[in-house]
Amino acid sequence: MNALGCGNLRLIYLDEAGISASEPVAVVVGIIIDPDKDWRSLETYLRGVAHSYMPEDEREGFVFHAKDISAGNKNFSNNKNWPKERRQDFIKEILYARTFLGFSLCVGLCRKHAHHTGHSAALIRHLMAYSFCVIGCEYYIRTYGDINELGMVIAEDTPTARKKIKDIHTELTSKKSTFPVYRDFLPLQRIIDTVHFASKADSPLLQFADACAFAFRRYFAGYNDAEPYVDALYGPASSSIRVPVDLGDGYFTCASIEAVGV
């Protein structure tokens, strides 16, 4: 049996991190799931983790934002109740979902360079990371999926980038790439339809994608605390992601952490 099984449609939940002008790297993560097998299990797991960490009077309507938890913002500002170690454990407990449930993900990344300045450059990095991630998901489904496997993208509804993301997705589905490394993957064949948008408040799987994007953004930006988060996703054996190789403007990696670079 192939890695994805024999279902026909995969849902791909995308979220981003590091998209402001000051960030050194923009990351977009896609969670690739079988909606029949994975969706309910992941939603139940995430709800259980939230209930085990959040006070009873704060559980209703709670939306997981890894950046707020890490920084001690909003509900997590009381350092007595939420010391740094407990906040880190909360994030790691969310990330352990992949180890427990075994679904796949893909990461698209675009680095900031000296010639990348200002908010327009930040948006371009966001769009490039989005493109790399979607191309990576296409690659993953083609490589590991059944011959009839398809994927549909659900992204966080970010008003400032919504139209641009929709436009770039349309380009990916309709145009052949002039870049040799992507020539075999564009136009998209397995990723179908337009990109669909949802808010994190309405989608627990986008909240999990938020945690993954947070972890990878910190890892690729070189933060000292990032490795335990990546370990939570992949286990300590995922050593190939730790090789300090300059990958240029961007690339995508798939579930096995094997990079396909540009």
User: Distance between CA atoms of 116 and 82, rounded to whole angstroms?
Assistant: 37
User: Distance between CA atoms of 168 and 149, rounded to whole angstroms?
Assistant: 23
Q: What is this structure's pTM? A: 0.85
Contact assessment for residue 50 and residue 59, using Cβ atoms and an 8 Å cutoff: yes
Sorting pLDDT into bands at 50, 70 and 90, what band is 150?
Answer: very high
User: Distance between CA atoms of 129 and 19, rounded to whole angstroms?
Assistant: 9
Sorting pLDDT into bands at 50, 70 and 90, what band is 251?
Answer: low
pLDDT of residue 254: 54
For the chain, the structural domain boundaries read: 9-261
pLDDT of residue 246: 37
Query: Is 70 exceeded by the pLDDT of residue 245?
Result: no
Q: What is the pLDDT of residues 73-104, one digit of tens each?
A: 777 877 788 888 999 999 999 999 988 887 88
Contact assessment for residue 191 and residue 137, using Cβ atoms and an 8 Å cutoff: yes
Q: Select the more confidently predicted residue: 57 or 197.
A: 197
Contact assessment for residue 59 and residue 207, using Cβ atoms and an 8 Å cutoff: no
CATH superfamily name and code, 9-261: Ribonuclease H-like superfamily/Ribonuclease H (3.30.420.10)
